[in-house]
Amino acid sequence: MSSSPYRSSSGDRRPDEAPSVRAPLEAHSSYRAQDWSPQRVTFHQNLETFADRVGLLVGLQSNGKLSQEEAYDEIRRMWKQLKDSKGSLLKD
């Protein structure tokens, strides 16, 4: 799973400025843990992307656009990618 571009939340914009438009799968929160590293930030983004995509798949399945089996298979595939990214990024 590739990481999405990292941006801070819209809290850094001026009050009179319109909120920026984000792509649906773009990371939207900052990583604020004490153990910051580029690898941990990348994994955090991958985790957010996974969560966003699961939400989209659930919505598609709920609206009849995907079968339960298709949604499950896709979530399993994405889970494996997330697990692999954790293994390669967070070698502790």
Give residue-wise pLDDT tens across range 4-28.
Answer: 332 333 344 455 555 555 555 555 5
Domain coordinates of the chain in residue numbers?
Answer: 37-92
Per-residue pLDDT band at 56 (split at 50, 70, 90): very high
Give residue-wise pLDDT tens across range 61-71.
Answer: 999 999 999 99
Please say whether the dihedral angle defined by the alpha carbons of residues 29, 77, 23 and 64, taken in this order, is positive or negative. negative
Average pLDDT over residues 57-84: 97
